[in-house]
Structure 1
Amino acid sequence: MRFLFLSLFVAASLQAAGPNVLFIMTDDYRPELASYGSPAITPNLDRLAKRSVQFQRAYCQQAVCNPSRSSMLTGRRPDTLKLWNNGTHFREQNPDVTTLPLWFKEHGYTTRCVGKIFHNWHTEAKGDRRSWSADEFLHYANHGHDTPQVSGKLPPNQITAPSLRDYNQVPLCECRDVPDEAYFDGRVAAEAVKVLAEVIDQPFFLAVGFWKPHAPFNAPKKYWDLYDRSKLPPLNPNRPDGAPELAFHQSTEVLGPVKEQVQPSAEQIAEIRHGYFANISYLDAQLGKVLDALEKSGKADQTIITFVGDHGYHLGEHSLWGKTSNFEYDARVPFMIARADGKNAGTRTESLAELVDLFPTLVEMCGLPMPKGLDGDSLAAVVEDPTQAIKAAAFTQHPRPAYFDREPDKRPKAMGYSVRTADVRYTEWRDWLTGDVVAKELYDHRNDPSELKNRADDSGLPETQNQAAKLLRAEFPPVKH
């Protein structure tokens, strides 16, 4: 009788819980390569998109790992967290802040982390153990330590161009005939499948963080072989006419330390871009393993699936490599939500969205109480009706220098605040100490989606600029530091 009572209690608890959450993250993923018909070969992401609401205009809050992920996972903007660099753990200045997985954990969910979710290399604290019901797996590492792990002799690197640089312990580009599990993401997928089996009979929030397509570009050879590099999209490296120097950065993530930089040859550029696409297809194969496991579990129709990237990425556009700008290439992210019941599967929405919105969205969709202090807005109404638009603008920011924590005084010299409306991107670069505007950018996305002409001083768009400036200053009033 006691066993029967316990079984009924457990069954009632599961029935009372909201849907499960499979929370999938990627690193440095360009959103246009997550869409149907893109040049990237992504059959598994395509099948996820076919069951998702796809946000075509979703934006990160800062285009670098730690500020973006900390913002998204706490539902608070970088300025609220006082966090704009990779080297500061979000709890150093916000010790009691609630995170998305912690909120689910406190409301009856088993929360697990496999792979890179929080940024966790430069910071003193590693991950956020209190957010999870068990220890994190492969959450703390350096991308440059992702060396191929194989039994027996290591197959040769089949890269043809001279390596532009070493990416810590590995070449920037590497092509070896090794199994998927030789690198981080193959092991992340295998562990995610294992953990899913462990939690499948509980209300679960399973976060799976893939390390790709972030550099180094070292997917196994079979993913390089999917592409003919001569048929990849052409590169336009032109800088935007009239853009201020503050808008740019030194591309150190890809090109290396400034004093050691050499400009890549045409062959090296082709190799890097090819490797980025190979990384995407490698990641996609790992995603497929996790989606397959969920389907086989019988719980797919009880599980919300989200797929997001932490920020975008430049592959030579605007003469930039990597991220850390406010341009559309860096600010815009892939963002999909698949409802448990399958409603609105395969639809696209033009509704503006921000990563900071994901916390309140999942809370509402799972029927949990809403925590106080979140900066984002729930997008549950858009997932219910993709024709709705609940936000007038999305905001991204970035300091200069891009990695100011490496500077002697450890503080920015300027901060760029950027607003994206349905039609334009407007950016103000402000002196960090005084709050004075020192440079402006305005890009007309109706006619210039690649942001190749700064129209901030163009007399033809004064009202558009004024409206965007009002939105920006309402969210980020100029302040002195």
Structure 2
Amino acid sequence: PRSHGVLDLTTHVRDRLPNVITLPQAFREAGYLSVSYGKVFHQFLDDKLSWSSQAEFPDNHTYRGLRGAAWTRAGGFNIGFRYNQYHLAANLRLQTATRRQRASGDLRVSINGRLPPWERGPRANPAGKGYTDYRIASDGIAALGMFQGQPRPWMLTVGFVRPHLPFNAPAAAFARVPHGAVPIGQPAAAPRNASKLTAFHLKGGDGELFDFDVRGETHDGGRRTATASDLEGRR
């Protein structure tokens, strides 16, 4: 970061180093098909020069290579990946209500403050089918088949999202870790000279690490009391 100057999640590397050559770009410029799925660059900050165009590799992932609002309009979250991909009905209702409240201009509730940091239980999708990384892996596997039908060499880059809050995963993944196996740390003051991003996450509020509702979890449509140590035990 000190060499390229990107110290947050909102600055594109080309805004600091316009002539940088990324690894997938080097392959593309050498004649390879260069294709990606999932989180390779941060959302909203994809890189057009790194990837082959739809004219070269027509897979309908038209958000690839776009930045900002154009990335969203082309399906970056819907076709590409989602972070808060809940499956249980109670969580989906809470998520929808929160988004509507914030969209109306009411920012008294944080982005994730009503939502649990995990889902678990048999009805929380036991095989993992449909979760973000399942979809990303499926897209990558489908691309392998498409590569077979064309003569060019290729480079496939697949970026998985998990582990990432919320910790949504098949029920079996939670069952392997005892509750409270590792005590969770508490929010702390940011170290001296910490980046703005670090300070933001440590303070709570909309900060990602301490934003979710750890007081309870949605468990197969029900609600039970959960402690901070429960959260750490499921990481």
TM-score by length of 1: 0.31
| Structure 2 counterpart of 1:131, from 42, 50, 62 | 50
| Structure 1 counterpart of 2:234, from 264, 275, 289 | 275
- What's the counterpart of residue 192 of structure 2? 246
1:279-428 to 2 correspondence within 5 Å?
none
Shift in alpha-carbon separation, 1:137–1:145, aligned structure 2, 3 A:
farther
Residues 409-449 of structure 1 show CA distances to partners (whole Å, capped at 9, x for unaligned) of xxxxxxxxxxxxxxxxxxxxxxxxxxxxxxxxxxxxxxxxx
The structure in which a higher percent of residues are strand is: 1
- What's the counterpart of residue 164 of structure 2? 214
- What's the counterpart of residue 194 of structure 1? 142
Alignment-mate amino acid for residue 192 of structure 2: L
Q: Residue 111 of structure 1: SS of its match in structure 2?
A: strand
**Matched residues in 1 for 2:212 and 2:124: separation?**
29
- What's the counterpart of residue 69 of structure 2? none
Gaps of 5+ in 1: 1-77, 149-153, 158-164, 277-481
Do 2:34 and 2:51's aligned partners in 1 also have CA atoms closer than 8 Å?
Answer: yes
| Structure 1 counterpart of 2:32, from 106, 109, 112 | 109
The alpha carbon displacement at 1:206 in A equals 0.9
Gaps of 5+ in 2: 55-60, 65-75, 92-109, 216-224
Shift in alpha-carbon separation, 1:261–1:86, aligned structure 2, 3 A:
closer
1:63-82 to 2 correspondence within 5 Å?
78-82=1-5
**Matched residues in 2 for 1:253 and 1:211: separation?**
21
**Matched residues in 2 for 1:167 and 1:138: separation?**
25
Do 1:115 and 1:208's aligned partners in 2 also have CA atoms closer than 8 Å?
Answer: yes
- What's the counterpart of residue 43 of structure 2? 120
**Matched residues in 1 for 2:185 and 2:212: separation?**
16
Alignment-mate amino acid for residue 186 of structure 1: Y
1:24-35 to 2 correspondence within 5 Å?
none
**Matched residues in 1 for 2:158 and 2:129: separation?**
16
**Matched residues in 2 for 1:168 and 1:98: separation?**
39
The alpha carbon displacement at 1:273 in A equals 2.1
- What's the counterpart of residue 133 of structure 2? 185
Alignment-mate amino acid for residue 34 of structure 2: T
Shift in alpha-carbon separation, 1:113–1:253, aligned structure 2, 3 A:
farther
Do 1:219 and 1:275's aligned partners in 2 also have CA atoms closer than 8 Å?
Answer: no
| Structure 1 counterpart of 2:85, from 126, 130, 146 | 146
**Matched residues in 2 for 1:137 and 1:270: separation?**
42
**Matched residues in 2 for 1:212 and 1:254: separation?**
23
Residues 311-363 of structure 1 show CA distances to partners (whole Å, capped at 9, x for unaligned) of xxxxxxxxxxxxxxxxxxxxxxxxxxxxxxxxxxxxxxxxxxxxxxxxxxxxx
Residues 58-92 of structure 1 show CA distances to partners (whole Å, capped at 9, x for unaligned) of xxxxxxxxxxxxxxxxxxxx233322111111222
The alpha carbon displacement at 1:171 in A equals 3.1
Alignment-mate amino acid for residue 100 of structure 1: L
Number of residue equivalences: 176
TM-score by length of 2: 0.58
